[in-house]
Amino acid sequence: MGYDGIELALKTPDEIDPREIKVTLRENGLQCPAITTGQVFSDLDLYFTNPSLRKRKKVIRMFRAFIDDARFLDAMVNIGRVRGFIQEGETCQETKELFLNTLVPIEEHAREHGVTLILEPVNRYESNFVNNLDEAAELITEAHSPCLKLMPDLFHMNIEEASLERSLMRHKDLIAYVHLADSNRHAPGMGHLDFRSVIETLKRMNYQGWSSVEILPFPDPDTAALTAINYLRILPNDL
C-alpha cells in the first residue's frame, strides 16, 4: 500500500511473538514505530490511576513487558486512555500523583532499555484527565523523565485545541510521534481538517519522527488504509 511502517495495537504483551513480528517486518521492508495500548483500558479495565493497588501493579507488570517488546522492535510505547481518569470525589492533583507514582517503575524500566514512552492527550468526551497538549506537557514536566514525550492525535486536537498549528509549534521540542486522522476519525481527506497546513507546520518544526494513521476502518480496513496513504502521498511533504 505504500506505508513505511506499521503500528501495533495490543491488549496484552503476549498477543505477539516479537521475533516473528521482526522477521515479517524485515521481509516486507517495514518498521514498527510504536505499540499502542488503548485496549488495555477499554477491554481489561486496567489503568495507571486505578484505585486498586493490585490492578496498578498489574499495569506496571504489563507495561514492563510492552517495553521489552518495544525494545526488541525498536518501537515506542503509547500511554493514551490507559493513564486513567479522575474518579468521582477525587481531585485532579490526587489523580496526577497517582499517575506519576505508577509511572515511576515503568519509566525506570523504559529508561534502562532505551525505550520512549509517548503520552497522548485524549478529548474531553473520552476522558477527564489530560485533554490537550498543554496539560500533557505540564504532566511530562512534572514527571522529570527524559524518556517521556508527547504524542499529539489530530482527531483529539481538533476538539480540544484552538489552533492545531500553534499547539504543535508550541510543543515542538516534546513531540515524538503523531497520530493522523481527520475530524470524523476517518482517513485524512474525508473530513474538514487542513492536512496541508498541518504538514507544513511539521516541516517548520523540523519534525523528524513518525506519523501514523489511526482511523476508523470505513468502509473497510483496506479501503481506509489505501485512501489515507494515497491522500497523504500527494501532499507537499513526505512525512
Q: Of 192, 63, 56, 58, which Cα lies nearest the Cα of 119?
A: 63
Catalytic pick among 7, 107, 160, 214: 214
List 7, 107, 120, 160, catalytic entry? 120
- CB atoms under 10 Å from CB of 232, counted, come to 21
Q: Which three cell numbers stand for residue 91?
A: 481531585
DSSP assignments along 3-72, one per residue = -SB--EE-SSGGGS-HHHHHHHHHHTT-B--EEE-HHHHHTT---TT-S-HHHHHHHHHHHHHHHHHHHH
Q: Containing H/E element for 235?
A: none
Distance CA 38, CA 126 (A): 12
- Cell numbers at residue 202, please? 511539521
Query: Does 120 qualify as catalytic in the annotation?
Result: yes
Q: At what angle do helices 18-27 and 53-73 cross, to 10 degrees?
A: 30
Contact 58, 47 (CB under 8 A): no
Give phi and psi for 199, each to the nearest 5. Answer: -65, -40
Let me know if 126 is a catalytic residue. Answer: no
Positions annotated as catalytic residues are: 120, 214
